[in-house]
Amino acid sequence: MRNLATLIVALLFAGTAAAATPGEVECIVPSKPGGAMDLTCKLVRDGLRQLPDQAQRPLRLRYQPGGIGAVAWHSLISSRRADPDTLVAFSGGSLLNLAQGKFGKATPKDVRWVAALGTDYGMIAVRPDSPYKTLPDLVDALRRDPGKVLIGVSGTIGSQDWLKMAMLVKAGGIDPKVLRFVALEGGGEAFTAMQANFVHVVSGDTSEAQLMAAQGKVRVLAVLAERRLPGALAAVPTAREQGYDVVWPTIRGVWMSPQSSEADYRRWVATFDRMMATPEFDRLRAAAGMYPLSLTGQALTDHVQQAVDDYRVRAAQFGLLR
């Protein structure tokens, strides 16, 4: 009840948030700073600067954490339904929440899906001084004494970070119910908690882990991709290589208010099409730890609906549907 009350209060305040000022673009980050949602809005900002007609236009980032995206979602669909220049970051985790009913009665048809900027993948990380050197090391420790290992995840039971770890340990013959998860608000907070040794493991995304891994601040045990990834994590084996057949791609993009005009929606779709066609955008996307995936407009809308349907099936396998 306390969490519900906190969310209701947050929603009330979120509903009064001012729209972007005329001429200004706003990108809402539905989490605390430092995670992949933050990276998504920063990629939008940096990408738009590559277009001559957008280069001088202000873009403001607004952080609106709460309910793992629920506060930002309900803020726009309730009080800013026709806002033409506010974009909201989303991920595969947002779609998983929709599939499970964590946004109430919301459906993908309640908003306008503008652009998918890229994809990244799930990963499992520990501190550099952790005794777990490989994914099997970690799974063996969880099998022996799951109560000793605290696992940091963005969101609560049923979130994508929870589900990644649940799928891994289930593949290793462990009941996910015996694990000790610590629910946090966004990937940035999860890594901060691990640096402070408040949690011992983070289930998150490669885009969040790349910079910290390159700086030697974390050890990534596995990437949840079909094959090894290029760049900073090239030496990290996949979960499949280590005996756990789990792959988790994570789409990243932006949506806008449900009653924005058709002209405004088409303007933004065309703008993102132009932005993602520039050679510089490929470099920016890679620097943000994402991999190529470019969808806009109806193609993205169809993809989102299919993803929500697929997530619903997967969630049902773990008894997560409401």
pLDDT (tens digit per residue) in 42-63: 999 999 999 999 988 889 999 9
Of 182, 241, 234, which is closest to residue 210 (Cα–Cα)?
234
Weakest-pLDDT range from 10-14, 128-132, 161-165, 198-202 = 10-14
Mean pLDDT of 89-114: 92
Of 97, 140, 162, 167, which is closest to residue 311 (Cα–Cα)?
97
Higher pLDDT: 75 or 112? It is 112
CATH topology assigned to domain 2-118+251-317? D-Maltodextrin-Binding Protein; domain 2 (3.40.190)
CA separation for the pair 222, 238 (Å, rounded): 5
pLDDT digits (tens, 9 = 90+) for 207-241: 889 888 888 899 999 999 999 998 889 999 999 99
Q: Where in the chain is the domain with CATH 3.40.190.10?
A: 121-242
Number of CB atoms found within 10 A of residue 258's CB: 16
Higher pLDDT: 69 or 181? It is 181
Q: How confident is the model at residue 80 (pLDDT cuts 50, 70, 90)?
A: low
CATH topology assigned to domain 121-242? D-Maltodextrin-Binding Protein; domain 2 (3.40.190)
Decide the pairing of beta strands 25-29 and 59-63: parallel
CA separation for the pair 208, 198 (Å, rounded): 18
Higher pLDDT: 23 or 100? It is 100
